[in-house]
């Protein structure tokens, strides 16, 4: 059964993660850093995010992706629908967001896990009107290179309102994790009900509840999902990969 995670984040400094944070991330494939950004900073990010989405929604331009009826997205609440609005490169469209990938706190985290040689693969902004099925973010990248997703959620998220869940340790590549990725990945031919007799939301996992200002990061390989998500859940994502 999923459960709320402890705040596994010892006090963070702008120079990087602590050895215990690094060890936790490498073992379990995810990490939460509470209160990395203060209320004033989050208000700036939210204003920039909303302005970018308002402009793109009004213009209906090619920079806005309106994803509907994807098997990744789940409508598991009465008011939700299988729908997500996504803007690749969201930070590039706003003076309030553009410096976020270069923030010393972000750079310190990334360098702690990837070293000084890494690639910034861009940002993304999402408005979810759905939940998300179990999946991992590795697409065409080799498993031997670590890729990171850093996420800021602009809304308070809890176990019953769409907080992200992880299967700890699935960042490793072995028979155990490959089996989980095969069964739980939304593109798979087998379902958890068929193989294990459980619903996807009942998979053993950890729910990481967040408040605005918290940062959650994970290895691309780590299996993750959201359930019981409300409409208009907002996320800013930053992506980095080892060279």
Between CA 83 and CA 69 the distance in angstroms is 7
Q: What is the pLDDT of residue 55?
A: 93
- Classify domain 3-242 by CATH number: 2.60.120.620
User: Which residue ranges make up each domain of the chain?
Assistant: 3-242
Please name which of 227, 221, 124 lies closest in space to residue 181, comparing C-alpha atoms. 221
Please name which of 14, 46, 17 lies closest in space to residue 213, comparing C-alpha atoms. 46
Per-residue pLDDT of the chain (243 residues; tens, 9 = 90+): 344 444 443 334 456 999 999 999 999 999 999 999 999 999 999 999 999 999 999 887 778 999 998 999 999 998 899 999 999 999 999 999 999 999 999 999 999 999 999 999 999 999 999 999 999 987 665 567 899 999 999 999 999 999 999 999 999 989 999 999 899 988 778 899 999 999 999 999 999 999 999 999 999 999 999 999 999 999 999 999 998
Q: What is the pLDDT of residue 187?
A: 77
What are the start-end ranges of the H helices in the chain?
Answer: 19-28, 39-59, 104-114, 175-184, 192-195
Q: Which tokens go with 64?
A: 């806005």
Number of H helices, E strands in the chain: 5, 13
Burial class (CB in 10 A: 0-12, 13-18, 19+), 230: middle
| Residue with the two structure tokens 């939460």 | 32
Between CA 232 and CA 70 the distance in angstroms is 17
Burial class (CB in 10 A: 0-12, 13-18, 19+), 62: exposed
- For residue 190, what is the DSSP state? S
| Residue with the two structure tokens 């340790």 | 169
**What radius of gyration do the chain's Cα atoms show?**
17
Q: What is the pLDDT of residue 142?
A: 56
Specify which residues 86 forms β-bridges with.
65, 126
* 16, containing H or E segment: none
Burial class (CB in 10 A: 0-12, 13-18, 19+), 29: buried
Q: What is the pLDDT of residue 5?
A: 42
Between CA 220 and CA 170 the distance in angstroms is 10
Q: What is the pLDDT of residue 15?
A: 63
- Cβ–Cβ under 8 Å, residues 48 and 94: yes
Between CA 240 and CA 116 the distance in angstroms is 11
């Amino acid at each position: 059964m999923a459960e709320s995670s402890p705040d596994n984040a010892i006090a963070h400094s702008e120079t990087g993660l602590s050895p215990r944070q690094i060890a936790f991330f490498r073992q379990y494939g995810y990490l939460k850093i509470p209160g990395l950004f203060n209320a004033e900073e989050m208000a700036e990010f939210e204003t920039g995010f909303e302005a970018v989405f308002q402009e793109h929604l009004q213009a209906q331009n090619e920079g806005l992706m309106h994803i509907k009826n994807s098997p990744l997205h789940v409508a598991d609440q009465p008011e939700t629908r299988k729908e997500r609005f996504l803007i690749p490169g969201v930070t590039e469209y706003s003076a309030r967001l553009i410096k976020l990938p270069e923030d010393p706190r972000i750079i310190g985290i990334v360098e702690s896990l990837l070293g000084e040689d890494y690639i910034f693969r861009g940002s993304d902004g999402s408005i979810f009107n759905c939940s998300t099925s179990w999946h991992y973010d590795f697409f065409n990248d080799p498993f031997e290179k670590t890729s990171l997703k850093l996420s800021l959620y602009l809304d308070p998220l809890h176990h019953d309102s769409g907080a992200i869940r992880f299967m700890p340790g699935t960042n490793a590549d072995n028979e155990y994790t490959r089996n989980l990725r095969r069964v739980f990945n939304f593109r798979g031919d087998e379902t958890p009900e068929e193989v294990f007799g459980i619903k996807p939301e009942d998979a053993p996992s950890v729910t990481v509840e967040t408040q605005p200002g918290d940062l959650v990061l994970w290895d691309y390989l780590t299996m993750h999902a959201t359930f019981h998500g409300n409409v208009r859940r907002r996320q800013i994502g930053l992506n980095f990969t080892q060279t």
